[in-house]
């Protein structure tokens, strides 16, 4: 059994139920680190396939949704992580996810600081950049998304469910406030949200676009030779 999980056991000998969720992840991280350290290329593929979406999500947010910069920094992050694992120089492989996330945050911060320190120069080409306030703000895509969501709302049989969605997502009201106002149990609220999300995902899949497609415009691989 994973040693880190054993350490999370309670004094009474019963395991903390919350520890179960992370125990599997920690064990996976330790296993993948050992395999990469042993030179298993399929382990590297597994690692990249699993962590890339989360790292890209993190970096997109921290790079003001500049997808090209986020993809570059994601690649740099993976290089750092893989290098550590190949050299077996990661102190605690069970904390692999936290290390990768922190590396990504640091790279994003460094990138932001570099651009902030860059001396300003007069450049008329910047004018074009000023015109682009919302990259990827495609009106056709927005209209299509609006149409899907409208269909989703029409499919909801209860007016209450539509109103729950609108208040939660659009007006950003709290769960407690909405439950109290409509006199519904927190479990019912969770169900409404869960069903709406699941239905929208199936609609997106039927249309041929998964949620992650919108985030990941790039696929790449880090050859071992790049590190040598």
Provide the mask over 8-37, with x wherever binding to another protein is found by CB under 8 A and - wherever it is not: ----------x--xx--x--xx--------
In the window 65-124, what residues touch another protein (CB under 8 A)? 65, 97-98, 100-101, 105, 112, 115-124
Alpha-carbon span 165 to 161, nearest angstrom: 6
Instruction: Give min distance, CB of 226 to another protein, in A.
Output: 22
Instruction: Give min distance, CB of 35 to another protein, in A.
Output: 16
- 3-state per-residue secondary structure call for 48-68: HHHHHHHHHHHHHHHCCCCHH
* Interface with another protein, residue 129, by CB under 8 A: yes
Alpha-carbon span 150 to 175, nearest angstrom: 23
Among 1, 12, 132, 140, binds another protein (CB under 8 A): 132
Give DSSP secondary structure letters for 104-144: HHHHHHHHHHHHHHSPP---TTHHHHHT-SSTT--HHHHHH
Contact 164, 195 (CB under 8 A): no
In the window 178-207, what residues touch another protein (CB under 8 A)? 186, 190, 193, 196-197, 200-201, 204
Give the residue with the Cβ less far from another protein, 12 or 117: 117
């Amino acid at each position: 059994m994973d040693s880190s999980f054993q350490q999370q056991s309670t004094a009474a000998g019963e395991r903390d139920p919350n520890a179960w969720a992370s125990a599997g992840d920690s064990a996976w991280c330790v296993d993948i680190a050992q395999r990469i350290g042993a030179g298993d290329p399929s382990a590297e593929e597994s690692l990249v396939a699993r962590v890339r979406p989360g790292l890209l999500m993190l970096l997109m947010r921290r790079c003001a949704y500049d997808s090209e910069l986020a993809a570059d920094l994601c690649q740099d992050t993976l290089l750092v992580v893989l290098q550590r694992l190949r050299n077996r120089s990661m102190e605690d492989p069970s904390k692999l996810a936290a290390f990768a996330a922190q590396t990504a945050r640091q790279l994003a911060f460094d990138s932001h600081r570099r651009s902030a320190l860059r001396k300003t120069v007069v450049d008329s080409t910047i004018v074009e950049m000023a015109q682009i306030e919302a990259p990827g703000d495609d009106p056709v895509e927005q209209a299509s998304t609006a149409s899907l969501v409208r269909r989703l709302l029409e499919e909801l049989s209860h007016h209450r469910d539509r109103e729950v969605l609108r208040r939660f997502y659009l007006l950003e009201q709290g769960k407690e406030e909405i439950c109290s106002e409509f006199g519904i149990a927190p479990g019912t609220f969770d169900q409404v949200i869960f069903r709406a999300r699941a239905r929208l995902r199936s609609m997106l899949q039927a249309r041929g676009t998964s949620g992650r497609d919108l985030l990941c415009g790039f696929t790449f691989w880090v050859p071992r030779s790049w590190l040598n």
